[in-house]
Amino acid sequence: MSDGYVSRRAFMAAAAGAGGAFLVAGWPEAAAAAERARDRAEHAGKARYKVLTTAEADDIIALTSTIMPSDGTPGAKEAGVVFFVDQSLATTSKDMRKPLQAMLADVNAQVAKAWPGQSHASGLSDQMRIELMTWIEKEKPQHFGMLKGLTLAGMFAMPSRGGNRDKAGWKLIGFKDQFSWKAPYGWYDGEGAK
Amino acid sequence: MTDHVHHHAQAASGPAPKTPRYSPKEAVDFVVVGSGSAGGVVARELSMAGFKVLVLEQGPRLGPNDFVHDEIKIQQDAFLTNKFEQQPGTFRISADKKAKKMMPIVYGRAVGGGSVHFTANFWRLHPIDFKERSKIGPIAGTSFEDWPISYEDLEPYYTKVEWDIGVAGLAGASPFDPPRSKPYPMPPHPIASTGVLMEKGAKKLGWTAFPAPMAITSRPYRGRSGCAACGFCLGFGCEVGAKSSTLYTAIPDAEKTGRCEVRPDCYVRKVEVNDKGLVTGVIYFDKQKREVFQRAKAVVICANGAETPRLLLMSKSNRFPNGLANSSGVVGQNIMFNGNVIANGVFEHEVNGYKGVAVSRIIHDTYELDPGKVGFYGGGGFDFRQIFTPIVFGFAGVPPETPQWGAKFKQALAHGFTRTVNAFGHTTSLPVPTNNLTLDDEVKDAWGLPVNRLTFKEHPNDLKVYKWFADRAKDLLDAAGAQTSWAFPTPTGDEEQTGGQVHLLGTCRMGNDPATSVIDRNHRAHDVPNLFMVDGSSMVTGGRGQPTMTIMAMAFRAGDLIAQAAKRGEIPSAG
Ligand SMILES: Cc1cc2nc3c(=O)[nH]c(=O)nc-3n(C[C@H](O)[C@H](O)[C@H](O)COP(=O)(O)OP(=O)(O)OC[C@H]3O[C@@H](n4cnc5c(N)ncnc54)[C@H](O)[C@@H]3O)c2cc1C
Ligand code: SF4
Atom of ligand 1 nearest to the CA of B500: 53
Nearest-ligand number for the alpha carbon of B192: 2
Please name the residues in contact with B342: beta carbons below 8 A apart, sequence gap of 6 or more: A11, B387, B422, B423, B424, B425, B470, B473, B487, B488
Site from B76, B234, B420 to mutate, A interface, most A CB atoms within 10 angstroms: B76
Q: Return the pLDDT at A164.
A: 97
- Strand, helix or coil for residue B572: strand
Cα–Cα distance for residue pair B453/B311, rounded to 1 Å: 13
φ/ψ of residue B43, rounded to 5: -60, -40
* Residue B383 falls inside a structural domain: yes
* Residue A182 falls inside a structural domain: no
Cα–Cα distance for residue pair B103/B451, rounded to 1 Å: 11
What is the extent of the structural domain holding A84?
54-173
Cα–Cα distance for residue pair B415/A122, rounded to 1 Å: 29
Site from A8, A73, A155, A180 to mutate, B interface, most B CB atoms within 10 angstroms: A8
Supply the residue whose CA is at minimum distance from atom 6 of ligand 2: B230
Kindly determine whether residue B392 and residue A21, on different chains, have CB atoms separated by under 8 Å. Answer: yes
Q: Does the C-beta of B229 come closer than 6 Å to ligand 2?
A: yes
Sheet holding B450-455, edge to edge: B100-102, B89-92, B450-455, B436-444
Average pLDDT, chain B: 96
Q: Number of structural domains, chain A? A: 2
Contact status, residue B523 vs residue B558, Cβ threshold 8 Å: yes
What is the mean pLDDT of the segment spanning B430-435? 98
Residues A124 and A63 in one domain: yes
What is the mean pLDDT of the segment spanning A106-121? 98
Residues A20 and A82 in one domain: no
Residues A117 and A21 in one domain: no
Q: Is the pLDDT of residue B3 over 80?
A: no
Kindly determine whether residue A16 and residue B499, on different chains, have CB atoms separated by under 8 Å. Answer: yes
Closest CA to B227 of B207, B241, B212: B241
* Residue B218 falls inside a structural domain: yes
- Strand, helix or coil for residue A164: coil
Kindly determine whether residue A13 and residue B103, on different chains, have CB atoms separated by under 8 Å. Answer: yes
Residues A76 and A40 in one domain: no
* Residue B464 falls inside a structural domain: yes
pLDDT band, very low/low/confident/very high, at B184 (cuts 50, 70, 90): very high
- Smallest Cα distance from A66 to chain B, Å: 6
Residues A64 and A101 in one domain: yes
Neighbouring C-alpha atoms within 13 Å toward the C-beta of B276: 12
Q: Is the pLDDT of residue A7 over 80?
A: no
Residues A22 and A89 in one domain: no
Alpha carbon B431 to its chain's center = 16
Q: Is the ipTM of this complex over 0.90?
A: yes
* Residue B526 falls inside a structural domain: no
Nearest-ligand number for the alpha carbon of B124: 1
Q: How many angstroms is it from B529 CA to the middle of ligand 1?
A: 26
Contact status, residue B375 vs residue B463, Cβ threshold 8 Å: no
Closest CA to B535 of B34, B80, B164, B142: B34
Which of B240, B245, B354, B387 for mutating ligand 2's site (highest number of atoms within 8 Å of CB)? B240
Written as one letter, the residue type at B571 is: I
Residues A156 and A66 in one domain: yes
**Does residue A157 belong to the interface with chain B, where contact is any CB pair within 8 Å?**
yes
What is the mean pLDDT of the segment spanning B292-296? 98
* Residue B267 falls inside a structural domain: no
Per-residue pLDDT tens digits for A141-181: 999 999 999 999 999 999 999 999 999 999 999 999 999 99
Q: Is the pLDDT of residue A28 over 60?
A: no
**Which domain CATH number covers B480?**
3.30.410
* Residue A188 falls inside a structural domain: no
Q: Return the pLDDT at A44.
A: 55
Contact status, residue B533 vs residue B518, Cβ threshold 8 Å: yes
pLDDT band, very low/low/confident/very high, at B575 (cuts 50, 70, 90): confident
Cα–Cα distance for residue pair B62/B126, rounded to 1 Å: 34
φ/ψ of residue B367, rounded to 5: -55, -45
* Residue B409 falls inside a structural domain: yes
DSSP structure string for B341-408: EEEEEE-SS---TTSSSS-SEEE-TTSS--HHHHSS---EEEEEE----HHHHHHHTS-TTS-SSSHH
Strands B53-56 and B260-263: parallel
Please name the residues in contact with B500: beta carbons below 8 A apart, sequence gap of 6 or more: A12, A13, A16, A17, A18, B103, B104, B105, B106
* Residue B417 falls inside a structural domain: yes
**Does residue A148 belong to the interface with chain B, where contact is any CB pair within 8 Å?**
yes
Neighbouring C-alpha atoms within 13 Å toward the C-beta of B17: 18
SS3 of B410-463: the string is: HHHHHHHCCCEEEEEEEECCCCCCCCEEEEEEEEECCCCCEEEEEECCCCHHHH
Cα–Cα distance for residue pair B480/B475, rounded to 1 Å: 8
What is the mean pLDDT of the segment spanning B437-460? 98
Task: Report which of residues A6 and B308 the model is more confident about.
Answer: B308
* Residue B404 falls inside a structural domain: yes
B356 contacts in chain A (CB < 8 Å) = 181, 183, 185
DSSP structure string for B58-94: SSPP--GGG----HIIIIIS-SSB--TTTS-EEEESS
Tell me if the bond preceding B188 is cis, omega within 30° of 0.
no
* Residue A189 falls inside a structural domain: no
Question: CB pairs below 8 Å between A and B: how many?
Answer: 226
CA distances from B388 to B231, B352, B393, B395, B398 (A): 11, 11, 5, 9, 11
* Residue A19 falls inside a structural domain: yes
Residues A73 and A115 in one domain: yes
Pocket residues for ligand 1 (CB within 6 Å)?
A 16-17; B 33-39, 56-59, 106-109, 113-115, 117-121, 235, 267-268, 302-305, 307, 311, 502-503, 535-536, 546-548, 551
Written as one letter, the residue type at B382 is: F
What is the extent of the structural domain holding B394?
182-225+339-427+457-497
Beta bridge partners of B353: none
Q: Is the pLDDT of residue B514 over 70?
A: yes
Residues A36 and A94 in one domain: no
Kindly determine whether residue A18 and residue B78, on different chains, have CB atoms separated by under 8 Å. Answer: yes
Beta bridge partners of B339: B427
Residues A78 and A134 in one domain: yes
Q: Is the pLDDT of residue B10 over 70?
A: no
pLDDT band, very low/low/confident/very high, at B360 (cuts 50, 70, 90): very high
Left (φ > 0), alpha (ψ -120 to 50) or beta: where does B163 sit? alpha
Site from A175, A180, A185, A194 to mutate, B interface, most B CB atoms within 10 angstroms: A185
Residues A125 and A157 in one domain: yes
pLDDT band, very low/low/confident/very high, at B496 (cuts 50, 70, 90): confident
- Strand, helix or coil for residue B533: strand
- Strand, helix or coil for residue B132: helix
φ/ψ of residue B83, rounded to 5: -110, 140
Q: Number of structural domains, chain B? A: 1
Residues A76 and A118 in one domain: yes
Kindly determine whether residue A152 and residue B85, on different chains, have CB atoms separated by under 8 Å. Answer: no
Q: How buried is residue B254: exposed, middle or buried, by Cβ count under 10 Å (0-12/13-18/19+)?
A: buried
Closest CA to B155 of B129, B120, B187, B116: B129
Q: Return the pLDDT at B18.
A: 85
